[in-house]
Amino acid sequence: MNSNDHPDLTAFALGELDAEHSEAMAQWIAENPSARAEADATTTLGERLRHTAPPANLRLHPQQRAALLNGPQRVRQLVAAASQGSKRRPSTLRVIVTSIGRMAAAAALIIGGFLAGTHFANRNAPAIASTKPAPPEATKTKAPSSEAPVAPFRAKEITSPALAEAAPAPAPVVVAKSKPAPAPKAATPAPVTVAFAPPSTLQEPAKSAMPKTRILNHAFVSTSKATLSHATLLPAETRFVSPKSEALSAAAKLPATVKTIEPAPRTKQPELRIHSWKAEVASCPWNEAHRLVRLTLQIPSEQESPNTRYPLQVSFDPNYVRSFRQLSQRTIAASAADAPAFHILWFEFQPNGQAINATREAKMIGSVTIPNALFTTPAAGPFDSTRLQIVDRGTAWTAAREDFLFETAVAGFGLLLKGENHSPALNHSLVLKLAQHAAIDDDRTGERAKFIKLVEDARQMAGL
């Protein structure tokens, strides 16, 4: 912030400084033409805002006015009666009926839970076998093959880096296993065995810990079946890494090993500090019937608890969204020690019914929730820092911001590389068109030009 970019200069221009400060500021800007120009611009804008302020000519309804102006005594009586009424004790009959209802609901839940658990356990017997207790030593984490004949992942696959790298990875690798505690004496927390694999194989925490509605393989999920999409944010991935420390950490990389750690005592999860967050919605360039959502979180690179994985839940309103899928999720680490980092999620969704267009009223189509989020800057009033609404204003992709367009091109290229579940309209030409449209003005780092070259090369190599 330079000297011309200071709240006091704005306060001076709006006549909000006290006499002493105002005099000092007047002397200073008399010697500083650029500051004077800044103050004049602010004053002009303020005057125009006052001049063009929308007229306030709405009144209360006649009956509302009459209630206030003609019947103040009656109003007081009503207010008093209302406050007394709210303190009235509920009737005995109501208490009994409510209690019976609660007991019935509890019984239904218990029976339903038991039946569902029995059914689920029978259907997934082989998978359960793979989670049988195993000794903490690395060489013993491999379950006997007779006990787990169809276990999807074997401990051996993640204890050897060579195997982990060479093996095809059609599905996420399970990197953590916890000892189940079927015996009653397991009330004492058992040690947790964690296998540390190279970063390329580390994808997610334990598979069993992930929500069932997690989106995989970019498939669309109907909101009649699931309205939530779950993601996580790990602040350690957003940290600025200087070239020197990066070299040191690369040299210190160790092959995958298995360690035994004691479970930490349960404590309250620390807060995730965020500078700001934003949700943008625009039409989908490769499918006219679909729309795209970009969620951007700007966070400080240094967090109180960098190794805590924070849940990030995206909920879609079935009234406006028929189905959705997560296209990508990425973290952009801070470019300097004091610079912010970004966490970005992309979704594609199919609107329920006719798509919202720009001439219609904006609609709230969903929300994003991070339970422990806290803004780094003070907010006005008791606004909720843990929940962000996703509002669709009917914006067309042609009217979207350039960075939105460019990232749309990147997300589209990602879909092309995966080669599945995308519209025929999505091709290299469309990706290039989007990227080139966005790269006209703002390509300070040259990244956009590199991406365009990459896509052109890919198209040429594919013979298209």
Partner 1 sequence: MPAPSPSSESDALVREAMGLYESQLIAYAANILAGDIERARDVVQDTFLRLFQADPTRVRENLKAWLYTVCRNRALDVLRKDHRLDLGDEDKILSFTDHRPDPSQSSDTSELYDRAWTLLEQLSKNQQEVIRLKFHHDCSYKDIARITGLSMGNVGFLMHVGLKKLRTLLTEELSEHSN
Give the interface with partner 1 as residue ranges (CB under 8 A): 5-11, 14, 16, 37, 40-42, 44-46, 48-50, 52-54, 56-61, 64-65, 67-69, 72-73, 75-76, 79, 275-278, 296, 298, 340, 364, 367, 375, 377-385, 387-389
How near is the Cβ of 284 to partner 1 at its closest, in Å? 22
Say how far apart CA 122 and CA 5 lie, in whole Å. 67
How near is the Cβ of 444 to partner 1 at its closest, in Å? 11
How near is the Cβ of 369 to partner 1 at its closest, in Å? 11
Among 180, 193, 185, which Cα is nearest to 135's?
193
Give the contacts of 72 (CB within 8 A, at least 6 positions apart). Answer: none
How near is the Cβ of 128 to partner 1 at its closest, in Å? 39
Whichever of 238 and 323 has its CB closer to partner 1, that residue is 238
For the stretch 359-362, contacts whose Cβ atoms lie closer than 8 Å and that sit 24 or more positions apart, written own/partner, are: 359/394, 360/394, 362/391, 362/392, 362/393, 362/394
How near is the Cβ of 311 to partner 1 at its closest, in Å? 19
DSSP 32: -
How many alpha carbons lie under 13 Å from residue 57 in its C-beta half-sphere?
Answer: 3
Whichever of 83 and 354 has its CB closer to partner 1, that residue is 83
Whichever of 132 and 387 has its CB closer to partner 1, that residue is 387
How near is the Cβ of 60 to partner 1 at its closest, in Å? 5
Whichever of 121 and 379 has its CB closer to partner 1, that residue is 379
Q: Dig out the tokens for 357 from the structure.
A: 């267009």
Whichever of 154 and 275 has its CB closer to partner 1, that residue is 275
How near is the Cβ of 351 to partner 1 at its closest, in Å? 20
Whichever of 19 and 58 has its CB closer to partner 1, that residue is 58
Angle subtended at Cα 302 by Cα 344 and Cα 444, rounded to the nearest 5 degrees: 50
DSSP 402-454: HHHHHHHHHHHHHHHHHTSS--TT-SHHHHHHHHHHHTTT--SSSHHHHHHHH
| Helix/strand/coil percentages in the chain, nearest 5 | 40, 20, 40
Say how far apart CA 294 and CA 281 lie, in whole Å. 7
How near is the Cβ of 155 to partner 1 at its closest, in Å? 44
Whichever of 75 and 219 has its CB closer to partner 1, that residue is 75
How near is the Cβ of 7 to partner 1 at its closest, in Å? 4
Residue type, 351: P
Whichever of 265 and 378 has its CB closer to partner 1, that residue is 378
CB-count burial class (<10 Å; 0-12, 13-18, 19+) for 403: middle
Question: With contact defined as beta carbons under 8 Å apart, do 323 and 350 qualify?
Answer: yes
Question: With contact defined as beta carbons under 8 Å apart, do 370 and 359 qualify?
Answer: no
Distance of CA 412 to the CA centre of its chain: 20
Whichever of 5 and 457 has its CB closer to partner 1, that residue is 5
